[in-house]
Amino acid sequence: MHKNREERQYITYRSPFDPCPPLPCRTYVVPVNQYVVFQPADLPQFSPAEALKHGTLWPALYSPYESR
């Protein structure tokens, strides 16, 4: 599995009475915009066509969706 800066993981709780043990760890995605609290000056931008393709104007906020 590809690891990126937006993906986090945690260890699930395992009950002693659970007949089927759960997966050892689960993952979730933290949106990239949680890291950028304000828009810095001179932030690089995609071209208009690329921005429509990626869904954002700024490469720093682009996070590709990876299907499992």
Whether 19 is covered by a domain: the verdict is: yes
Query: Helix H segments across the chain?
Result: 48-54
Q: What's the confidence (pLDDT) of residue 4?
A: 53
Quote helix, strand, coil % in the chain, to nearest 5.
Answer: 20, 15, 65
Chain-centroid distance of CA 14 in Å reads: 26
Whether 2 is covered by a domain: the verdict is: no
Q: Is the dihedral of CA 31, 5, 44, 55 positive or negative?
A: negative
Whether 1 is covered by a domain: the verdict is: no
Range of the domain at 31: 7-61
Whether 17 is covered by a domain: the verdict is: yes
Count of the separate structural domains present in the chain:
1
Whether 43 is covered by a domain: the verdict is: yes
Mean pLDDT by 10 residues, the chain (68 residues): 68 85 83 74 92 90 75
| Upper half-sphere CA count for residue 47 (Cβ side, 13 Å) | 2
Whether 21 is covered by a domain: the verdict is: yes
